[in-house]
A and B are shown apart, each in its own frame.
Chain A
Amino acid sequence: MAGAAPTHTSDTPAAPAAEDRRTPRARRRKNREQGHPTLDWRTRLRRDKTLILMTLPAVALLLVFNYAPLVGLVTAFQYYDPLDGIRNSQWAGLAQFTALFHDPLFWGALKNTLVLSFVQLILFFPVPIALAVLLNSVLSERLRNLIQSIVYLPHFFSWVLTITIFQQMLGGAGVLNQALRSHSVGTWDIMTNPHTFALLVTGQAVWKEAGWGIIVFLAALAAIDPALYEAAAVDGSGPWRRMWHITLPGMRGVVVLMLVLRLGNALSVGFEQFLVQRVAVGHNAADVLDTFSFYYGIATDNYGYGAAAGLFKSVISLLLIWGANKLAHAFGEDGLYRR
């Protein structure tokens, strides 16, 4: 766009181009240098007061329900008592954290979280990519749309519903075991087995979200220039070579972005999913960091302890996002934001 060109001489203030990522200060300086007057903030306030007013309800809700809890994080350093409130509760210093790090249940929950994250990374992450490539190769548009609208559907189911469906299909009284029983084979209760719980919840996650996950990959595939395929075919490459050298590189940016997001969320493996199934498989297998903070914080009135577990999780998560993003940049990709 013209606004980004150094030799800009138009007499109207330059409209910033989409790729113009300068800070407002730098933009103002440049406007001044080129002799465009900058409006002083009072004039701008009067001009934009409606716009600012419009954002206020959302900002207010975020301040109350997202920023105020940040202040509430001090309870992690207290023996919080709801009757005394934050101001009058007794200070604990780092005692909650010391207790946390000596708690085998906490380490169990952390281990479960990391194992589940890893299993999901290996078994979940590639599924939508493969599915998107496969679906993209379906030529009939009507068939493609039909399949898409079916695989998107489970994304909109609640976890309660999803687990109910799994229970009715694979559980002790479910369809699978009905069939096994009627053929006089021993039953096989997948839903209550703590040893295969990681595989089970990954299966549930794949069933619920893999279809939805293909949307971004399909978009990346649609953005690949067909001329590349044509040129490659003319040069004598077969379908597999074209997939390897054109399709997959074409998805690279989106794949890395999704990987960054997933790594950043490594400690949030899902909450309701584990809460609902916790009784069935036992807390040793089903406790993750989130449920830990719920059960040993709210359910037992030990708020400071739960808050400490939550704070631990938040800090590590933030570090993970930051690290994953650095990694993405090291691979020469954009990651969450452009460098």
Chain B
Amino acid sequence: MTTTTVPLPRRRRRNPNRPVWAEQPTVLGQTGKGAVLTLVVAAVVVPLWIIVVTSFSTQAATNRAGGMVIWPDGLTTAAYREMLGDPTVRTSLLVSLGITVVGTAVSMAVSILCAYGLSRSRSLGHRLILTLLVVTMFVSGGLIPTFLVVTGLGGYGRYWALILPSAVSVFNILVLRAFYSSTAADLIDAARIDGAGDWRTLWSVVLPTSRAVTAVITLFYAVSYWNAFFNVMLYMPTDSQKWPLQYVLLTYVNRGNGLPGSLNSGFGSAHAETAPLALQMAVVVLTLVPLLLAYPFMQKHFRTGVLTGAIKG
């Protein structure tokens, strides 16, 4: 009670991250830097904001704004209720989720096995197989021969045509392999000495230690399946019951809006008249939701994942 602590004079501390030899920033430099970075961030955030706000707006609000709504003004979830009542959107959402889940599972299984199989630098034939993989990164038959092979195998109108041709990404395999053969190498050796076979090593040693890179590669695959749109156009352009969400987005949003979306025949049957703006934007938001849900969990691993593969190639 008797001791009184004299508060130390509060002093503005220099930024602890600033190296001692670096000059103090000028006001002008600091402002310029801030302005550019704000602009960059705004270029991403503002359009997303406008789209989300519009999707929640009433018809009256979009009319008042003369189109997209920038500031909330008469919010409603009517667009979402209407959208989810539309059988085309509901089906396409299920199709998209199905393709994404099944495709990602197939891709990850195949890629992890292959990457592990190639990760031991002294195994028989790994060089040959690796060459076989890498060649496909530079030489390809191109669009038409691939189309002929897939349709020749009966892929036209089948879901597997959206999955199997793009199931293997050599780049992703190389990322995983680089990770397994450097970071996990010592652990693999230790597991072998303890008598674990290859399956056991992969399952109980390699996979648990490479969660970060596995997460990133999973995200890459999942995003590519979720975004797939051209394969649909190739292999099931007429069957609107089988369209995934991205394709429905194209018909919903770009119809009569400067981008008349009749990309090929049999395309325009699903939505002849233009949907209200809020409804269109609700579909846009729907394509974004799964990504924005997964993003925060994966985001911190990007650097590890990308760099492990990208630099070593």
Contact = CB atoms under 8 A, between A and B. Distances in A.
Interface of A: 16, 24, 41, 44-45, 47-48, 50-55, 57-59, 61-62, 64-73, 75, 80, 82, 85-86, 131, 134-135, 137-141, 147, 149-154, 156-161, 163-165, 167-169, 171-175, 177-178, 181-182, 189, 191-192, 207, 211, 215-216, 218-219, 226, 229-230, 233-234, 238-239, 254, 271-272, 275-280, 290, 293-294, 297-299, 303, 306-307, 310-311, 313-314, 318, 321, 336-337
Given A137-B33, A272-B229, A51 B257 contact: no
Contact of A48 (B54, B123, B199, B260): B123
Interface in B88-135: 109-111, 113-114, 116-118, 120-127, 129, 132-133
Given A59-B114, A165-B51, A68 B149 contact: yes
A48 B36 contact: no
A138 B32 CA distance: 12
A243 to B, nearest CB: 12
**In the A-B complex, the 5 residue pairs with the closest CB atoms:** A69-B141, A72-B145, A310-B142, A158-B227, A54-B117
B44 A150 contact: yes
A130 to B, nearest CB: 9
A297 B43 contact: no
Contacts of A314: 139-142
Contact of A61 (B15, B23, B120, B164): B164
Contact of A64 (B37, B70, B149, B246): B149
A314 B132 CA distance: 18
Contact of A275 (B50, B145, B233, B306): B233
A307 B145 contact: yes
A18 to B, nearest CB: 8
Given A160-B229, A336-B313, 15 more contacts: A16-B121, A68-B145, A71-B145, A82-B148, A137-B33, A138-B37, A159-B227, A161-B287, A216-B306, A229-B21, A239-B23, A279-B262, A307-B142, A318-B139, A321-B138
A276 B262 CA distance: 10
Contacts of A230: 19, 21
Nearest to A189: B258
B257 A139 contact: no
Contacts of A59: 114, 129, 132-133
B256 to A, nearest CB: 10
A72 B141 contact: yes
Contacts, number: 306
12 contacts: A54-B116, A66-B140, A71-B141, A85-B152, A141-B17, A161-B287, A165-B47, A174-B68, A215-B306, A216-B310, A219-B311, A293-B142
A298 B124 contact: no
A215 B129 contact: no
Contact of A149 (B23, B70, B148, B299): B299
B302 A303 contact: no
Contact of A158 (B113, B114, B126, B287): B287
B293 interface: no
A55 B270 CA distance: 43
A66 B19 contact: no
B60 interface: no
A153 B295 contact: yes
Contact of B50 (A152, A158, A169): A169
Interface residues of B, number: 108
Interface in B62-100: 65-68, 70
Interface stretch (B3-11, B207-215, B247-255): B247-255
A207 B42 CA distance: 11
B223 interface: yes
Given A51-B126, A154-B44, A216-B310, A73 B142 contact: yes
A306 B143 contact: yes
Contacts of A277: 259
B144 A58 contact: no
B264 interface: yes
A181 B263 contact: no
B50 A51 contact: no
Contacts of A167: 253-254, 257-259
A156 B306 CA distance: 14
